[in-house]
């Protein structure tokens, strides 16, 4: 830590008053004992049972680390506390571990098991932080564990944990780069993730681990473009810079036609570019001028990227703005690049560091695209309070922007700068004037005159710099400037700066024929002062002498010989060498001297004028905004920005078949699609509006949706619903994926729906439950048949029970929208609107047993069906809700009983087992205010008055999970304490078995094809060869009922989701021995996918 | 690179240490991040009132905890202060007392709901007894005035800072009388960009507490009214070792408002040894080491213009300095937005109660320089 010395200066700063200073305490006994004694009290504190003491100890240790003191000898004592329940202690232990684990690898291993336990914790925050610390401990032995943990976390339910997994990838890679291949697999998987939270982190991992695997991006390109706007700022930066590189490899250059034209008539082009509006026109003329080339058509994906990044120029984050700016600079057609100028100029207001980086980039851009920044010329004017670096960069930009029209203003501004107190800046200004003079011929004389005036400046530095610049300028057209050379010659008496003197001498020598009278005189003066001159000046004196000797030997012969003999005995060998060399060349010796004949050619050859150009000239081959660009040198880890391809690679690689891009995200945030606009503005009644909006926010507030009963007539609503989805009215036009008509209809339909249903749509998309394809059209007849079939079979069910599924199947055509479903039930069956607990419901499971018995004689062909049906498997075994220790003696487990919950058929019934292992009775056990995600509701269990020590009790509660596997979080309250607990249902518990015949099954399956069908291949292990085991395993995983089947190696199961009532059909085809195929048909695709995963896992284990 | 941020060195070391882990990535990101770290630490209502060296030292553990949440392997993790506050609760005296009694901690054990929601900037379950929403429209004038008093360049940079303390999930819309004035805007992520594009209305679900809703730029093309003028007469004579110095500050185009908090600073040339000045009001100091002259003027009374007159003693024998000092000006004008921007109305949807609303305008000098 670089802060170490600073910290050690003020020891005890954070220790507070009255605390002993460890290691400096005289009581700890001299040099020898201090080492092992000094942390004894800390160790003691860490070994106690009291959290507060541990916390205090950890705080002191962290403060020690912060002060740069070595606390590594406390490692064993600290590591013990990694399992501490107090979360703050835990955090500080993590801080400590990350700092010292690499030094004490063996001891660090002690903590690993705690992290492994943490990875399985129901609390996502704990899972995430366990993974974070595990991956930050740089101990090579645990690489396999880390790999496993990352893989597991990559498929975690919580996006936050998946994000952490993405962060862990580069950490593991830097620890062991051999894991690359496996890590790429994880990256590939995470790239397919659709949450904004993950997107930025996984792209960062991609850039660190496998930036060359551009092929991984293809399938996710459009998704990333569309998500971009909602990703958090840091993620946006990484994604944009990656997409810039991607686009460079995949699309054709939008400027390929222009660049040819530019070479021919650069000036003219700039002229037209000045006007932004004309830009498009110039592009056209460019295309017209080159009829031979095939016209450039921008790839729609290229366009998509440009369009989706543009709003981000308005971001508050300078990093994002800069990223978009470089993307436009590298990728956009010339006519469109202009939009970034304004945003970049805005960034000049921020911190000076940001200003510095932005100005560097502007300097590079302004060389290529001068027109872009011209309107903002005045924003680059320099203030006396700017730091020198900033001043010089601004000067650079001003010089780049100067042209025929604005040069007078720029020069006037420069004149002010020359009077500045900052001499470095003044020197830079003089050079800038020189550059302006070379670039703009019209002002060359003016500049030269101005510079000559500067020669009489009192500051030597200014004069010297001017001489150097004048020398360069004169070299371009020496003939007309005899006067200036004369003036310069006079200055040799005054100017003392060696570089300037040398420059003057060189000028006089070079153009001695323009000043034939003065030149020998200057040489005479210089010969006089030769010994006192600086080396660089001496060399030029020799040069001057040689040149004069060649042109005007009559006057200068003696002088030259004098100078050369002086030089011969100079202390500097360079000068001695030069003198010897020159003498041999110009003074012909006896032995021929073939060279001396060419001496004139050697010394007085016409020399090319130097080109004054910007140091930013070729910097744009580095990706703008990168560190390499800033340094103008390749930094490690820099990814080369590739050149445009000659031929565009196949664009179809980006096509994604069943991807449902428009449904991915709800854009509520900044720059997002604002779908509500038309609705809100039209709505005049404030009250009504308020009521309508409320459910929208219940999303994040955690209000339960179904309780909001709207006053609209369900008939008319469902009518408009189905109409809009079939007619595809106007509405929003944001659907990006044009190839998917279904989605477009969906989107548009939603746009014109009433607020209530729109809210549902939002909530649905948030949970990413995709819509069933073709469901809207077929649902009517489908529901008819299904209702009739259920009537014929479930004979023992009550009237109401039969009515319900039929009615809501009919009323909600497109899919099982949960909220309207419940609402409509309550409106239809008015007497049932009273609290659901009163509702008398006969549990279908009991029905089913008797029903199965009935069916046995009729349809059963499979003998093994009966036992599996008759013994309802209670789902997953007991799971811990609250550990004994965390609950202070109260241990709580839960099981999914698979009994229908007697209050509400849409609820999953959960048996909760309490046991009191403390020695005091626990009183008043009840559920406290639940904080639930939208749609999820809880039917609490009746309060348990008292639980004596050692006793246990069971209660049943119902949870409506709304057909999602989101966890239900609630509080368990006792009289004294509150515990936050959460129940996350396995997907298999979200459904209830349905019984149907083989024919019905096939009929229903036929309706759920296409997107609603998920098929996966698997290898059945040997243990799964018997029917019984297979059936048991499937039913243990999912609460499904077996459907009879004619063929022996095929298993069919059917169920309905509890809340939505959507059918879930599962087929397992095991005909070829060993290899099997699992098919799930359900309109709830997410449920289907997860079910497939779970069942495969159950079967193959 | 010279750093002008007024942060203690130690924090800078921290900040530069962490971002430097990235090998080659976007440079602005790094600087941006290093600038964003102090924000949650020192802004009001957040962790510490001020971010000074002793405060950091006293709370080094909290700083560690916060940084731990903000960064993962050098990549920014959670930077929204609302989310951070749920993860690590800011230390207050009350909380410290409660913690020692109940044994609870400052560290939250649940993932903040905001992290996963579509409104990550807002905490859920916000409750206030007094529901208030205050907006400050603050405009800064950046200008360079030349010797003769004519404007070389002038721009207005404005921000709207908000302090919103509203219960629940309010949805606010803010509309302007003259939105066309705004030339270039950048928003807090909560603002719905589409709505701004189509209707020029700011519609947003605000974060809780203080935040910058919007910053804007009024272009140089529009004529900017310069509210003050400076008359100056600074001359060095070649032979004598005395120079004359005289500055008068006066109001112009202030729309009837008083100019307050005027401060004049000027970096004098190296040749100036000392200054012997008398102000007509306020106090002045001259530091002979840094050659910095500063004059705290206070309010400008149009009837009696403040002036600072006197002599400068120059280094004897040295030739007169060829540069003239530039004068930097600071001032404030309450109840005026110099660009003429006016908020039309503020409406709240989504919640039932009536909030208390307030809008304040202020004009300040930004980088306001007068060349002499």
Asked if B116 and A197 come within 8 Å (Cβ–Cβ), the reply is yes
Q: Find the closest chain B residue to A172 by CA distance.
A: B73
Tell me the pLDDT band of B330, cut-offs 50, 70 and 90: very high
Tell me the pLDDT band of B322, cut-offs 50, 70 and 90: low
- Per-residue confidence (pLDDT) for residue B319, from 0 to 100: 64
Q: Cβ contacts (< 8 Å) between B369 and chain A: which residues?
A: 383-385
Check if the beta carbon of residue A419 is closer than 8 Å to that of residue B234: no
Q: Find the closest chain B residue to A132 by CA distance.
A: B72
- Per-residue confidence (pLDDT) for residue B43, from 0 to 100: 43
Look up residue A5 and give its two tokens: 């010395």
- Per-residue confidence (pLDDT) for residue A816, from 0 to 100: 41
The candidate with the shortest Cα–Cα distance to B69, out of B55, B54, B80, B59, is: B80
Q: Cβ contacts (< 8 Å) between B5 and chain A: which residues?
A: 351-352
pLDDT above 60 for A291: no
Half-sphere exposure of B88 (CA within 13 A, CB side): 27
Q: For residues A687 and A104, which has the higher predicted lDDT (pLDDT)?
A: A104
Rg for chain B, CA atoms, rounded: 25
Q: Which A residues in the span 292-331 are in contact with B, Cβ-Cβ below 8 Å?
A: 311, 314-319, 321-323
Q: Cβ contacts (< 8 Å) between A385 and chain B: which residues?
A: 328, 367, 369
- Per-residue confidence (pLDDT) for residue A767, from 0 to 100: 44
Q: What are phi and psi of B72, to 5 degrees?
A: -135, 115
Asked if B111 and A125 come within 8 Å (Cβ–Cβ), the reply is yes
Tell me the pLDDT band of A318, cut-offs 50, 70 and 90: confident
Q: For residues A18 and B214, which has the higher predicted lDDT (pLDDT)?
A: B214
Q: Which residues contact A186 (CB under 8 A, 6 or more apart)?
A: A150, A151, A154, A165, A169
Tell me the pLDDT band of B264, cut-offs 50, 70 and 90: very high
Q: Residue A61 carries which DSSP code?
A: H
Q: Cβ contacts (< 8 Å) between B54 and chain A: which residues?
A: 13
Q: Which residues contact A521 (CB under 8 A, 6 or more apart)?
A: none
Q: Across B223-355, where does the E strand assignment appear?
A: 228-236, 242-251, 260-267, 272-279, 283-287, 292-298, 307-314, 327-334, 343-349
Check if the beta carbon of residue A814 is closer than 8 Å to that of residue A771: yes
- Per-residue confidence (pLDDT) for residue B111, from 0 to 100: 64
- Residue bearing tokens 């729109």: A758
Averaged over B149-170, what is the pLDDT? 88
DSSP string, A416-432: HHHT-S-HHHHHHHHHH
pLDDT above 60 for A258: no
pLDDT above 90 for B296: yes
Averaged over B72-84, what is the pLDDT? 70
Specify the long-range contacts of residues A883-889, CB closer than 8 Å, at least 24 apart. Answer: A884/A917, A885/A85, A886/A85, A886/A979, A887/A972, A887/A979, A888/A918, A888/A977, A889/A916, A889/A917, A889/A918, A889/A919, A889/A920, A889/A922
Q: Find the closest chain B residue to A421 by CA distance.
A: B323
- Per-residue confidence (pLDDT) for residue B222, from 0 to 100: 62
DSSP strand pairing (B228-236 vs B201-204): unpaired
Rg for chain A, CA atoms, rounded: 41
Averaged over A158-172, what is the pLDDT? 89
Tell me the pLDDT band of B361, cut-offs 50, 70 and 90: very high
Check if the beta carbon of residue A470 is closer than 8 Å to that of residue A485: no
Which residue stretches of A552-598 are H helix? 553-568, 573-586
- Per-residue confidence (pLDDT) for residue A561, from 0 to 100: 87
Averaged over A198-223, what is the pLDDT? 88
pLDDT above 60 for A261: no
Q: What are phi and psi of B155, to 5 degrees?
A: -135, 155
The candidate with the shortest Cα–Cα distance to A391, out of A365, A424, A358, is: A424
Q: For residues A392 and A974, which has the higher predicted lDDT (pLDDT)?
A: A392
- The CA distance from B358 to A885, in Å, is 51
Cα A783 from chain centroid (whole Å)? 45
Q: Is the dihedral of CA A498, A501, A502, A503 positive or negative?
A: positive
Please report the number of interchain residue pairs, chain A to chain B, with beta-carbon separation below 8 angstroms. Answer: 302
The candidate with the shortest Cα–Cα distance to A101, out of A137, A62, A132, A146, is: A137
Look up residue A379 and give its two tokens: 């924003």
Check if the beta carbon of residue A481 is closer than 8 Å to that of residue A474: yes
What are residue B215's DSSP bridge partners? Answer: B159, B186
A328-332, A808-812, B335-339 — which is least confidently predicted? A808-812
Averaged over A516-539, what is the pLDDT? 87
A486-490, A821-825, B134-138 — which is least confidently predicted? A821-825
Share of chain B above pLDDT 70, in %: 70
Q: Is the dihedral of CA A4, A9, A13, A19 positive or negative?
A: positive
- Per-residue confidence (pLDDT) for residue B329, from 0 to 100: 92
Q: For residues A658 and B66, which has the higher predicted lDDT (pLDDT)?
A: B66
Q: Cβ contacts (< 8 Å) between A54 and chain B: which residues?
A: none
Q: Which A residues in the span 139-198 are in contact with B, Cβ-Cβ below 8 Å?
A: 158-160, 164, 167, 170-171, 197
- The CA distance from B158 to B341, in Å, is 10
B195-215 pLDDT, tens digit each:
888 888 999 999 888 888 988
Q: Is A1055 helix (H, G, I), strand (E, B) or coil?
A: strand
Q: Find the closest chain B residue to A970 by CA distance.
A: B110
- The CA distance from B205 to A596, in Å, is 86
A253-257, A871-875, A1013-1017 — which is least confidently predicted? A871-875
Cβ-nearest to A671 among B184, B193, B220 = B193
Q: Secondary structure of A203-217 in the HEC alphabet? A: HHHHHHHCCCCHHHC
Share of chain B above pLDDT 90, in %: 16
pLDDT above 50 for A31: no
Tell me the pLDDT band of A1034, cut-offs 50, 70 and 90: confident
B85-116 pLDDT, tens digit each:
777 776 666 666 666 666 556 666 666 665 66
A482-491, A751-760, B11-20 — which is least confidently predicted? B11-20
- Per-residue confidence (pLDDT) for residue A64, from 0 to 100: 84
Cβ-nearest to B10 among A3, A125, A635 = A3
- Per-residue confidence (pLDDT) for residue B101, from 0 to 100: 63
Is residue A230 less than 8 Å (CB to CB) from chain B? Answer: yes
DSSP strand pairing (B356-370 vs B132-145): parallel
- The CA distance from A250 to A253, in Å, is 10
- Per-residue confidence (pLDDT) for residue B173, from 0 to 100: 92
Most confident stretch, A103-107, A395-399, A438-442, A1031-1035 = A395-399
Residue of A161, A317, A398 to mutate for B, most B C-beta atoms under 10 A: A317
- Residue bearing tokens 């893989």: A151
pLDDT above 80 for A172: yes
Q: How far is A28 from chain B (nearest CA, A)?
A: 25
Which residue stretches of A101-179 are H helix? 105-118, 124-136, 143-154, 159-175
Look up residue B6 and give its two tokens: 């007024």
pLDDT above 90 for B47: no
Q: Residue A80 carries which DSSP code?
A: G
- The CA distance from A323 to A344, in Å, is 11
Q: Cβ contacts (< 8 Å) between A673 and chain B: which residues?
A: 194
- The CA distance from A369 to A276, in Å, is 12
The candidate with the shortest Cα–Cα distance to A865, out of A1027, A973, A693, A989, is: A1027
Specify the long-range contacts of residues B314-317, CB closer than 8 Å, at least 24 apart. Answer: B314/B236, B314/B240, B314/B241, B314/B242, B314/B243, B314/B271, B314/B272, B314/B273, B315/B241, B315/B271, B315/B272, B315/B273, B316/B241, B317/B241
On average, the pLDDT of chain A sits at: 71
- Per-residue confidence (pLDDT) for residue A485, from 0 to 100: 82
Q: What is the pTM of this model?
A: 0.62
pLDDT above 80 for A429: yes
pLDDT above 60 for A123: yes
A321-325, A355-359, A829-833 — which is least confidently predicted? A829-833
A907-954 pLDDT, tens digit each:
888 888 888 877 777 777 787 766 666 677 777 777 777 878 878 888
Averaged over A691-715, what is the pLDDT? 39
Q: Secondary structure of A101-122 in the HEC alphabet? A: CCCCHHHHHHHHHHHHHHCCCC
Q: Is A898 helix (H, G, I), strand (E, B) or coil?
A: strand
- The CA distance from B56 to B52, in Å, is 6
* Cα distances (Å, whole numbers) of residue A577 to A557, A573, A593, A957, A1084: 20, 6, 18, 101, 90
- Per-residue confidence (pLDDT) for residue A807, from 0 to 100: 42
Asked if A352 and B4 come within 8 Å (Cβ–Cβ), the reply is yes
- The CA distance from A244 to A331, in Å, is 7
A610-664 pLDDT, tens digit each:
777 777 777 777 777 777 777 777 777 777 777 888 777 777 788 776 444 444 4
Q: How far is A169 from chain B (nearest CA, A)?
A: 10
Cβ-nearest to B24 among A171, A637, A689 = A637
A350-389 pLDDT, tens digit each:
777 788 888 988 988 888 887 888 888 888 999 888 888 8
Q: Residue A960 carries which DSSP code?
A: E
pLDDT above 80 for A875: no
A322-331, A529-538, A889-898 — which is least confidently predicted? A889-898
Residue of B32, B39, B70 to mutate for A, most A C-beta atoms under 10 A: B32
Q: For residues A853 and A525, which has the higher predicted lDDT (pLDDT)?
A: A525
Q: Which A residues in the span 718-777 are in contact with B, Cβ-Cβ below 8 Å?
A: 766
Check if the beta carbon of residue B217 is closer than 8 Å to that of residue A346: yes
Asked if A638 and B24 come within 8 Å (Cβ–Cβ), the reply is yes
Look up residue A460 and give its two tokens: 């030597």
Asked if A204 and B32 come within 8 Å (Cβ–Cβ), the reply is no
- The CA distance from A431 to A395, in Å, is 10
- The CA distance from B110 to A128, in Å, is 11
Residue of B14, B27, B55 to mutate for A, most A C-beta atoms under 10 A: B27
Averaged over A465-487, what is the pLDDT? 78
Q: Cβ contacts (< 8 Å) between B116 and chain A: which residues?
A: 158-160, 197
Asked if B125 and A931 come within 8 Å (Cβ–Cβ), the reply is yes
Check if the beta carbon of residue B26 is closer than 8 Å to that of residue A639: no
The candidate with the shortest Cα–Cα distance to A274, out of A375, A344, A406, A363, is: A375
- Residue bearing tokens 């859920």: B124
Look up residue A606 and give its two tokens: 């016409």
Look up residue A207 and give its two tokens: 């850039």
pLDDT above 90 for B362: yes
Q: Cβ contacts (< 8 Å) between A389 and chain B: which residues?
A: 1-2
DSSP strand pairing (A1075-1082 vs A1041-1043): unpaired
- Per-residue confidence (pLDDT) for residue B52, from 0 to 100: 60
pLDDT above 50 for A672: no
């Amino acid at each position: 830590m670089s802060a170490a010395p600073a910290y050690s200066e003020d020891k005890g700063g954070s220790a507070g008053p009255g605390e002993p200073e460890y290691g400096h305490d005289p009581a700890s006994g001299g040099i020898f004992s201090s080492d092992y004694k000094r942390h004894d009290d800390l160790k003691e504190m860490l070994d106690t049972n009291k959290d507060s003491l541990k916390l205090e100890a950890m705080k002191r240790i962290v403060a020690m680390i912060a002060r740069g003191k070595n606390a590594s000898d406390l490692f064993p004592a600290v590591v013990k506390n990694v399992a501490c329940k107090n979360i703050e202690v835990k955090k500080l232990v993590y801080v400590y571990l990350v700092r010292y684990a690499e030094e004490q690898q063996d001891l660090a291993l002690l903590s690993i098991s705690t992290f492994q336990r943490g990875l399985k914790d129901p609390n996502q925050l704990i899972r995430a932080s366990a993974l974070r610390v595990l991956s930050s401990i740089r101990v090579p032995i645990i690489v396999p564990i880390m790999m496993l943990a990352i893989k597991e976390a990559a498929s975690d339910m919580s996006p936050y944990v998946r994000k952490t997994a993405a962060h862990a990838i580069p950490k593991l890679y830097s620890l062991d780069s051999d894991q690359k291949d496996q890590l790429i697999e994880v990256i590939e998987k995470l790239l397919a993730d659709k949450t904004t939270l993950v997107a930025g982190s996984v792209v960062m991992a991609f850039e660190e681990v496998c930036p060359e695997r551009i092929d991984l991006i293809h399938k996710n390109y459009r998704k990333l473009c569309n998500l971009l706007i909602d990703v958090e700022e840091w993620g946006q930066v990484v994604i944009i810079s990656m997409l810039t590189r991607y686009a460079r490899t995949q699309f054709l250059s939008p400027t390929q036609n222009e660049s040819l034209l530019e070479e021919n008539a650069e000036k003219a082009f700039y002229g037209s570019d000045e006007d932004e509006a004309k830009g498009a026109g110039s592009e056209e003329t460019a295309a017209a001028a080159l009829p031979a080339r095939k016209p450039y058509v921008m790839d729609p994906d290229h366009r998509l990227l440009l369009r989706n990044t543009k709003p981000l120029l308005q971001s508050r984050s300078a990093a994002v703005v800069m990223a978009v700016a470089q993307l436009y600079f590298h990728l956009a057609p010339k006519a469109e690049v202009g939009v970034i100028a304004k945003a970049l100029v805005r960034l000049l207001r921020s911190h000076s560091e940001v200003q510095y980086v932005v100005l560097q980039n502007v300097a590079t851009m302004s060389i290529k695209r001068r027109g872009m920044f011209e309107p903002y010329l005045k924003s680059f004017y320099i203030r006396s309070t700017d730091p020198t670096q900033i001043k010089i960069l601004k000067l650079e930009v001003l010089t780049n922007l100067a042209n025929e029209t604005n040069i007078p203003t720029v020069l006037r501004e420069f004149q002010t700068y020359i009077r500045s107190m900052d001499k470095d800046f003044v020197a830079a200004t003089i050079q800038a004037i020189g550059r302006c003079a070379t670039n703009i011929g019209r002002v060359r004389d003016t500049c030269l005159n101005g510079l000559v005036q500067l020669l009489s400046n009192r500051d030597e530095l200014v004069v010297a710099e001017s001489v150097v610049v004048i020398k360069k300028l004169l070299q371009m057209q020496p003939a007309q400037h005899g006067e200036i050379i004369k003036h310069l010659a006079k200055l040799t008496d005054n100017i003392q700066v060696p570089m300037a003197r040398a420059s003057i001498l060189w000028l006089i020598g070079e153009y001695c024929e323009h000043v034939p009278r003065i030149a020998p005189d200057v040489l005479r003066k210089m010969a006089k002062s030769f010994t006192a001159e600086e080396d660089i000046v001496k060399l030029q004196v020799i040069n001057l002498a040689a040149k004069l000797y060649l042109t005007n030997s009559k006057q200068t012969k003696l002088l030259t010989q004098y100078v050369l003999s002086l030089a011969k005995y100079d202390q500097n060998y360079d000068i001695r060498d030069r003198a010897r060399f020159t003498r041999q060349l110009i003074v012909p010796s006896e032995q021929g001297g073939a060279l001396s004949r060419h001496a004139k050619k050697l010394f007085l050859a016409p020399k090319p004028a130097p080109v004054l150009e910007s140091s930013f000239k070729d910097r744009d081959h580095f990706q703008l905004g990168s560190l390499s660009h800033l340094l103008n040198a390749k930094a490690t880890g820099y990814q080369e920005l590739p050149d445009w391809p000659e031929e565009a690679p196949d664009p179809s690689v980006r096509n994604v078949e069943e991807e449902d891009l428009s449904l991915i995200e709800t854009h509520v945030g900044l720059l997002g699609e604002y779908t509500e606009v038309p609705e809100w503005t039209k709505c005049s009644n404030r009250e009504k509006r308020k009521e309508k909006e409320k459910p929208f926010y219940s999303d994040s507030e955690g209000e339960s949706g179904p309780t909001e009963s709207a006053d609209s007539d369900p008939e008319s609503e469902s009518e408009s619903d189905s109409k809009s989805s079939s007619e595809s009215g106007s509405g929003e036009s944001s659907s990006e994926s044009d190839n998917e008509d279904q989605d477009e209809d969906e989107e548009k339909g939603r746009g014109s729906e009433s607020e209530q249903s729109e809210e549902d749509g939002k909530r649905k998309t948030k949970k990413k439950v995709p819509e069933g394809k073709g469901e809207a059209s077929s649902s009517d007849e489908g529901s008819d048949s299904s209702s009739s079939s259920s009537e014929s079979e479930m004979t023992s069910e009550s009237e109401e029970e039969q009515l319900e599924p039929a009615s809501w199947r009919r009323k909600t055509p497109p899919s099982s929208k949960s909220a309207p479903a419940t609402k409509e039930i309550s409106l239809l069956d008015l007497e049932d609107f009273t609290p659901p607990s009163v509702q008398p419901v006969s549990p279908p499971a009991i029905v089913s047993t008797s029903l199965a018995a009935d069916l046995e004689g009729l349809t059963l062909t499979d003998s093994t069906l009966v036992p599996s049906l008759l013994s309802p498997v209670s789902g997953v075994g007991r799971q811990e809700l609250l550990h004994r220790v965390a609950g202070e003696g109260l241990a709580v487990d839960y099981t999914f009983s698979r009994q229908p919950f007697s209050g509400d058929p849409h609820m999953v019934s959960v048996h909760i087992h309490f046991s009191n292992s403390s020695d005091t009775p626990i009183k008043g056990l009840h559920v406290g205010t639940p904080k639930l995600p939208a749609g999820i509701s809880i039917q609490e269990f009746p309060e348990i008055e008292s639980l004596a020590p050692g006793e246990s009790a069971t209660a049943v509660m119902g949870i409506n999970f709304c057909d999602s596997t989101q966890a239900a979080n609630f509080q368990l309250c006792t009289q004294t304490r509150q515990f936050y607990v959460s129940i996350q249902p396995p997907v298999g518990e979200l459904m209830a078995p349905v019984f149907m015949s083989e024919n019905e099954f096939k009929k229903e399956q036929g309706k759920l094809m296409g997107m609603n069908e998920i098929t996966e291949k698997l290898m059945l292990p040997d243990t799964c060869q018997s029917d019984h085991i297979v059936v048991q395993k499937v039913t243990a995983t999912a609460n499904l009922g077996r459907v009879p089947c004619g063929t022996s190696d095929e298993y069919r199961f059917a169920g309905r989701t509890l809340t939505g009532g959507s059918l879930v059909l599962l087929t397992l085809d095991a005909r070829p021995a060993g290899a099997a195929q699992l098919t799930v048909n359900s309109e709830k695709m997410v449920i289907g996918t997860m079910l497939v995963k779970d069942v495969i896992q159950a079967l193959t284990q | 690179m010279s750093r002008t941020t007024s942060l203690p060195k130690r924090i800078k070391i921290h900040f530069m240490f962490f971002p430097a882990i990235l090998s080659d990535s976007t440079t602005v990101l790094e600087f941006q991040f290093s600038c964003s770290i102090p924000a949650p630490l020192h802004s009001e209502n957040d962790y510490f009132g001020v971010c000074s060296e002793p405060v950091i030292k006293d709370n080094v553990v909290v700083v560690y905890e916060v940084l731990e949440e903000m960064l993962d392997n050098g990549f920014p993790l959670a930077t929204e202060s609302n989310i951070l506050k749920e993860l690590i609760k800011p230390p207050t005296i009350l909380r410290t007392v409660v913690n020692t009694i109940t044994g609870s901690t400052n560290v939250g054990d649940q993932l903040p709901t905001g992290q996963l929601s579509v409104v990550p900037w807002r905490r859920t379950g916000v409750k206030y007894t007094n529901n208030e929403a205050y907006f400050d429209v603050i405009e800064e004038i950046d200008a360079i005035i030349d010797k003769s008093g004519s404007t070389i360049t002038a721009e207005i940079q404005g921000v709207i800072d908000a302090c919103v303390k509203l219960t629940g999930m309010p949805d606010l819309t803010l509309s302007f009388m003259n939105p066309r004035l705004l030339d270039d805007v950048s928003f807090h992520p909560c603002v719905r960009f589409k709505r701004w594009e189509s209707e020029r209305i700011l519609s947003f679900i605000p974060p809780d507490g203080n935040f910058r809703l919007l910053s804007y730029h009024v272009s140089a093309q529009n004529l900017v009214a310069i509210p003050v003028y400076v008359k100056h007469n600074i001359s060095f004579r070649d032979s004598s070792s005395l120079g004359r110095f005289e500055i008068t500050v006066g109001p112009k185009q202030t729309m009837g408002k008083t100019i307050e908090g005027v401060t004049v600073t000027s970096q004098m040339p190296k040749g100036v040894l000392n200054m012997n000045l008398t102000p007509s009001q306020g106090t002045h100091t001259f530091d002979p080491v840094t050659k910095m002259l500063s004059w705290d003027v206070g309010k400008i009374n149009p009837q009696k213009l403040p002036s600072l007159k006197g002599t400068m003693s120059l280094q004897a024998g040295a030739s007169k300095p060829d540069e003239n000092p530039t004068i930097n000006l600071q001032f404030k004008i309450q109840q005026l937005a110099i660009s003429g921007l006016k908020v039309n109305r503020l409406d709240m949807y989504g919640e039932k109660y009536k909030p208390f609303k307030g809008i304040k305008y202020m004009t300040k000098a930004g980088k306001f320089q007068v060349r002499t």
